[in-house]
Copies of this chain bind each other. A is one copy, B any other.
Amino acid sequence: MIIFHEYMNPIHGFAMAIIDRTHLTMVLAIQEHGSLTAAADALHITQSALSHALKKLEDQLGVTLFRRESRKLFLTQAGEYLLSVANRLEPQLAYAEDRLKQFARGERGNLRIGMECHPCYQWLIKLVGPYLESWPDVDVDVKQKFQFGGMGALFGYEIDMLVTPDPLYKEELHFEPVFDYEQVLVVNNKHRLAKTDYVNPEALSDEVLITYPVAKERLDIFSLFLMPAGIAPKSHKLIETTDVMLQMVASGRGVTALPRWLVEEYAEKLNIVPVRLGKKGVPKQIFVGVRKDDLAIRYIKDFIEFAKARKKG
> Is A309 among interface residues, defined by CB-CB distance under 8 A?
no
Which of A17, A96, A157, A296 gathers the greatest number of chain B CB atoms within 10 Å? Answer: A96
Chain B residues positioned under 8 Å from A77 (CB to CB): 103, 109-110
Nearest Cβ distance between residue A137 and chain B, in whole angstroms?
12
Q: Which of B78, B97, B293 contacts A17 (CB 8 A)?
A: B97
> Is A229 among interface residues, defined by CB-CB distance under 8 A?
no
Do B81 and A103 have beta carbons less than 8 Å apart? Answer: yes
Do B74 and A96 have beta carbons less than 8 Å apart? Answer: no
Q: Which of A87-95, A116-124, A209-217, A277-285 contacts B (4 or more CB under 8 A)?
A: A87-95
> Is A18 among interface residues, defined by CB-CB distance under 8 A?
yes
Closest residue of B by beta carbon distance from A80: B110
Chain B residues positioned under 8 Å from A81 (CB to CB): 96, 99-100, 103
> Is A45 among interface residues, defined by CB-CB distance under 8 A?
yes
Q: Which of B1, B19, B67, B104 contacts A21 (CB 8 A)?
A: B19
Do A82 and B61 have beta carbons less than 8 Å apart? Answer: no
Nearest Cβ distance between residue A296 and chain B, in whole angstroms?
5
Bitwise interface map of A from 29 to 49 toward B, beta carbon under 8 Å scored 1, else 0: 000000000000001110000
- Cα separation A8 to B293 with both chains bound (whole Å): 26
Chain B residues positioned under 8 Å from A12 (CB to CB): 45
> Is A270 among interface residues, defined by CB-CB distance under 8 A?
no
> Is A129 among interface residues, defined by CB-CB distance under 8 A?
no
Do B21 and A61 have beta carbons less than 8 Å apart? Answer: no
Number of copies: 2
Known: A19-B93, A77-B110, A89-B93. A61 touches B100 (CB 8 A): yes
Nearest Cβ distance between residue A247 and chain B, in whole angstroms?
40
Bitwise interface map of A from 1 to 36 toward B, beta carbon under 8 Å scored 1, else 0: 110100000001111011111100110000000000
Known: A14-B45, A43-B14, A157-B67. A19 touches B78 (CB 8 A): no
Known: A4-B104, A85-B92, A100-B78. A44 touches B22 (CB 8 A): no
> Is A193 among interface residues, defined by CB-CB distance under 8 A?
no
> Is A301 among interface residues, defined by CB-CB distance under 8 A?
no
> Is A218 among interface residues, defined by CB-CB distance under 8 A?
no
Nearest Cβ distance between residue A80 and chain B, in whole angstroms?
9
Nearest Cβ distance between residue A258 and chain B, in whole angstroms?
35
Known: A85-B92, A92-B85. A101 touches B61 (CB 8 A): yes
- Cα separation A45 to B14 with both chains bound (whole Å): 7
Nearest Cβ distance between residue A48 and chain B, in whole angstroms?
13
Chain B residues positioned under 8 Å from A14 (CB to CB): 22, 25-26, 43, 45
Do B104 and A296 have beta carbons less than 8 Å apart? Answer: no
Please list the residues of chain A having a beta carbon within 8 angstroms of any beta carbon in chain B. Answer: 1-2, 4, 12-15, 17-22, 25-26, 43-45, 61-63, 67, 74, 77-78, 81-82, 85, 88-89, 92-94, 96-97, 99-101, 103-105, 109-110, 157, 293, 296-297
